[in-house]
């Protein structure tokens, strides 16, 4: 672990915040501060205004949490929205984002649990998360909606009865996206996404499903960083230890479906050494999924020779 020094600024014009210490000069610290003070860049803080964080890992976690909570608030205020809504799956990514949303908007945040022929354990974990962090939540079971749509699609000849599990799995993700925006528009909220850095890089998300959101607060965080931050957000331990799964179909796990370990993807993103065959597989997934990370291409206006009137 690289050497870092972190302080908690407890008084003065730069409080409350956490600071990453760059240097110490004549009774003052030069720091990069968190939260609302982040945009100030390097600032000088008197030593008497700080408390040294003995647990450096906790310090950098709190610094990051403070920054992300502030960032969420800024994005919602820029959009003139009233609050935030997040889909709570029972997994660690949505748990962390839910906790950040609750901190950012204690009274204007909502968790939405959306079972869709899901295993009962998923709902139990999701409710456990909401209860632990004090997040208001609602449950909308999409199972019947999904069943009717699949049956209608089969009778219309759009899909077969033996389609790949991802056909139905991606439909579940898109139904959840539509439900989130239904609830968000009703309240004037923005939809907060839960994709992490490995998912973003590899394209391991459903286009216009869990990828259809307004903001992505943890898309730069490695999976191991999400896991570490979860502990300082008081996410229940069973949720932290639960094998990552999108819950798209029974028995599905992220790593088995990707054929990759999150640790390897984390190392790739961080620029660390990984086996060459694993590196090539990640790069292939990244290239093939580039369209997911971009807006749809538009034909150049120069191609249009039609009269205006």
Q: Spell out the domain ranges in the chain.
A: 6-54, 64-293
Mean pLDDT of 105-113: 98
155 is an annotated ligand-binding site residue: no
What are the pLDDT digits (tens) for 36-64?
999 999 999 999 999 999 999 999 999 99
pLDDT of residue 278: 96
Confidence of residue 249 (pLDDT cuts 50, 70, 90): low
In this predicted structure, the answer to whether residue 79 has a pLDDT above a threshold of 80 is yes
In this predicted structure, the answer to whether residue 20 has a pLDDT above a threshold of 60 is yes
Beta-carbon neighbour count of residue 279 at 10 Å? 14
**CATH superfamily entry for domain 64-293:** HUPs (3.40.50.620)
Place of tokens 């632990």: 132
91 is an annotated ligand-binding site residue: yes
% pLDDT > 70, the chain: 97
pLDDT of residue 2: 65
207 is an annotated ligand-binding site residue: yes
pLDDT of residue 161: 86
Least confident stretch, 122-126, 149-153, 218-222, 243-247: 243-247
What are the pLDDT digits (tens) for 123-168?
999 999 999 999 999 999 999 999 999 999 999 999 988 888 888 9
Confidence of residue 94 (pLDDT cuts 50, 70, 90): very high
219 is an annotated ligand-binding site residue: no
pLDDT of residue 253: 80
199 is an annotated ligand-binding site residue: yes
pLDDT of residue 250: 66
Mean pLDDT of 273-296: 95
Q: What's the pTM?
A: 0.93
Confidence of residue 188 (pLDDT cuts 50, 70, 90): very high
291 is an annotated ligand-binding site residue: yes
In this predicted structure, the answer to whether residue 247 has a pLDDT above a threshold of 70 is no
Q: How far is CA 306 from CA 244, 277, 303, 309, in A?
A: 52, 51, 9, 9
Mean pLDDT of 201-230: 96
309 is an annotated ligand-binding site residue: no
Give counts: helices (H), strands (E), the chain. Answer: 11, 9
| Of residues 86, 183, 70, 176, the one with CA closest to residue 133 | 86
Q: In what order do the strands lie in the sheet with 17-25?
A: 42-46, 28-33, 17-25, 6-9, 50-52
pLDDT of residue 277: 95
pLDDT of residue 163: 83
CA dihedral over 139, 143, 146, 152, signed as positive or negative: negative
Q: What is the C-alpha to C-alpha distance for residues 195 and 107, in angstroms, rounded to an integer?
A: 24
Provide the mean pLDDT of the chain: 94
Q: What is the C-alpha to C-alpha distance for residues 84 and 187, in angstroms, rounded to an integer?
A: 9
Q: What is the C-alpha to C-alpha distance for residues 254 and 244, in angstroms, rounded to an integer?
A: 6
90 is an annotated ligand-binding site residue: yes
């Amino acid at each position: 672990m690289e050497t870092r020094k972190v302080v908690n600024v407890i008084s003065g014009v730069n409080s409350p915040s956490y600071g990453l210490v760059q240097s110490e000069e004549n009774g003052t610290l030069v720091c990069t501060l968190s939260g609302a003070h982040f945009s100030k860049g390097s600032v000088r803080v008197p030593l008497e205004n700080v408390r040294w964080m003995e647990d450096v890992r906790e310090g950098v976690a709190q610094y990051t949490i403070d920054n992300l909570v502030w960032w969420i608030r800024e994005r919602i205020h820029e959009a003139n929205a009233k609050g935030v809504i997040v889909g709570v799956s029972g997994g660690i990514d949505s748990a962390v984002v839910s906790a950040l949303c609750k901190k950012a908007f204690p009274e204007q945040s909502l968790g939405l649990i959306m079972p869709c022929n899901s295993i009962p354990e998923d709902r139990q974990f999701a409710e456990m998360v909401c209860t632990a962090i004090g997040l208001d939540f609602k449950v909308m079971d999409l199972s019947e909606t999904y069943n009717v749509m699949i049956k209608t699609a089969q009778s219309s000849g759009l899909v077969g009865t033996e389609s790949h599990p991802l056909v139905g799995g991606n439909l579940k993700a898109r139904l959840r996206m539509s439900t989130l925006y239904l609830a968000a528009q009703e309240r004037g909220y923005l939809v907060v996404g839960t994709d992490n850095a490995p998912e973003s890089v590899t394209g391991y998300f459903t286009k216009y499903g869990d990828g259809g959101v307004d903001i992505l607060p943890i898309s730069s965080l490695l999976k191991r960083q999400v896991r570490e931050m979860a502990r300082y957000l008081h996410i229940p331990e069973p949720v932290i230890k639960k094998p990552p799964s999108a819950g798209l179909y029974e028995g599905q796990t992220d790593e088995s479906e990707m054929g990759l370990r999150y640790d390897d993807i984390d190392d790739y993103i961080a620029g660390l050494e990984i086996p060459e065959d694993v590196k090539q597989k990640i790069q292939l997934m990244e290239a093939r999924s580039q369209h997911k990370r971009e807006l749809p291409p538009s034909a150049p206006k120069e191609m249009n020779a039609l009269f205006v009137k």
